Amino acid sequence: MFERIWRGSLAPLAAAVAAIVISSIALLISGNNPIDAFREMWQTIDSTESVVLIINRAVPYYIAGVAVAIGFKMNLFNIGSNGQYILAALIAGWAGAEVSLPPPIHVAFVFLVAITVGGTWALIAAVLNVTRNVNVVISTIMLNYIAFGLVAFLLNEFLADDETAGLVKNTKQMPSSAQIPSLNRLIEILGFNLAPGVQLYGFLPFAILLGVGYYVLLNRSRFGYDLKMSGLNPDAARSAGVNPKKMVLITLFMSGAVAGMIGLPFLLADPNFQKYGDAFPVTIGFTGLGLALLGRNSPVGIAAAAIVWATIERATQRLAPIGIPQEIGRILQGSFLLVAVIAYEVVRRRNDAAVAAAAATATAKLHREPPPSSTPMAGAPA
């Protein structure tokens, strides 16, 4: 168990060290002191408020990561999660403000709308893939931009609240029955005190549930087994009776449905939003792609990645006053991601080679033949 955790975290740790080195070099080149920068970053995150803010920020990132991870597991690259979620957030935000329902049902209604819209938008790519053999990467990229245009069009023409004057366009504010209460009580019970105005948004339990659901689906269900098999070896999956077209349709729908939830923490739990509008964050889907890569598509890994991402963003927020560019955070994130992706691949190839060699030796013993001198695929990258 501990052995597994240790081996799994070796590559990310190496990537973290490399990212710190690369950012330090960038800071040195730009004439700043890296030690000052990292000390300030640590002091920024070293408080209960910071931890709460980091968790709030990490929740939508986490959902975004899980959304694309579902597709990644089957080698379906759903680059379009961004379009799926902004369209879902717009329509769910509008629909949520149009109806009046009792609190839990209202929240469930907004969930349902978001999931349906996100899933349906992803389904376009799935249908094009299944019927017309269109590459999913290509169609989801196109659908991203179509969604951007469509959202702007729908918001401007039909869904914006007429009450808001001027250039700012928003959907109507959702009533309080569509709000998930904050978890501040829980924090107080745990014995921490929060500064006034700081809230731990109530969406966290839903995100945790989503992670558990993803884990169960993947590792404890027939569908999850089919999904992983289709990703690892499509031919074997087909021979075993898995219908590849059906898998594409279901998987992309689920990926899109989860992507549809990315905007919900803002709509349902963040008192600063409760509506879709010009200020709504619109690039979290892209961030999710990186987080799924960083977390290797595992629910725990993506959670860790989302927290690291949010921590870096929080930590760099107070760098500007002491004269250090805040954008160093982007360099940290980017170099961390790139080195981690390379490190995972190197580790994976090493393991594959070791497994292949062990299998070759075992087979050779079985047949009482000398082991082959080398196996294809065993060559480590040059």
Partner 1 sequence: MTATIDSTASDVREPGAESTWRKARWMPLAVALGAMAILSLTRLLADNDDLTSSGTFGVALRVAAPIGLAGLSGLVAERSGTINIGLDGMMVMGTIFAGWWGWQYGPWMALLGGIIGGMAGGMVMSLATTTFGVNHIVAGVAINIIAPGTARFMAGELFTDVQGGSITTSPGNTGAIGAFTVPFLSGGDLFGWTSPDILGWLEDRGWFLIADVAALAKGLTTAVSWDVVLTIAIFFGIAYLLWHTPLGLRLRSAGERPAAADSLGVSVHTMRHIGMGLSGALAGMGGAVLVLFANRYQENQVAGRGFLGLATMIFGNWMPLGTAAGAGLFGYAQGITLRTNPGDLVSALILAAGISLLVMSIWMVVERRWQTMGFMSVFTAVTFWAFFAASEPNNQLVFVTPYVVTLIAVSVGAQRLRPPAEEGIPWFKGMQ
Q: Which residues bind partner 1 (CB under 8 A)?
A: 26, 30, 77, 79, 128, 131-135, 137-139, 141-146, 148-150, 152-153, 156-157, 286-287, 289-290, 293, 325-331, 333-335, 337-338, 341-342, 345-346, 349, 374, 376-377, 379, 381-382
CB-nearer residue toward partner 1: 228 or 349 = 349
Closest CB 221 distance from partner 1, rounded Å: 26
CB-nearer residue toward partner 1: 72 or 203 = 72
CB-nearer residue toward partner 1: 149 or 213 = 149
| Residue 66: closest CA among 281, 227, 247, 306 | 306
Closest CB 151 distance from partner 1, rounded Å: 8
The first and second tokens of residue 34, run together, are 């890296």
Q: What's the CA gap between 17 and 21, in Å, rounded?
A: 6
Write the CB contacts of 21 (distance below 8 Å, at least 6 apart in sequence): none
CB-nearer residue toward partner 1: 20 or 152 = 152
Q: What's the CA gap between 32 and 19, in Å, rounded?
A: 17
Distances (CA, A) of 259 to 79, 89, 110, 115, 203: 11, 10, 14, 8, 15
Residue type, 268: L
CB-nearer residue toward partner 1: 25 or 112 = 25
The first and second tokens of residue 379, run together, are 């060559």
Closest CB 29 distance from partner 1, rounded Å: 8
Q: What's the CA gap between 64 and 285, in Å, rounded?
A: 6
Q: What residues pair up with 277 in beta bridges, in sequence order? A: 170
CB-nearer residue toward partner 1: 168 or 216 = 168
- What does the DSSP 8-state code read for residue 46? -
Closest CB 112 distance from partner 1, rounded Å: 25
The first and second tokens of residue 205, run together, are 């339990």
Determine contact, residues 62/206, Cβ cutoff 8 Å. Answer: no
CB-nearer residue toward partner 1: 194 or 341 = 341
Closest CB 46 distance from partner 1, rounded Å: 24
Closest CB 97 distance from partner 1, rounded Å: 21
Using the structure block, give the residue that is written with the tokens 């013993």.
Answer: 365
Closest CB 31 distance from partner 1, rounded Å: 8
The first and second tokens of residue 252, run together, are 């992309």
CB-nearer residue toward partner 1: 45 or 79 = 79
> Taking the chain, what is the end-to-end CA distance rounded to the nearest angstrom?
32
DSSP string, 180-220: PPPSHHHHHHTT----TT----TTHHHHHHHHHHHHHHHHH
CB-nearer residue toward partner 1: 16 or 134 = 134
Using the structure block, give the residue that is written with the tokens 């629910």.
Answer: 299
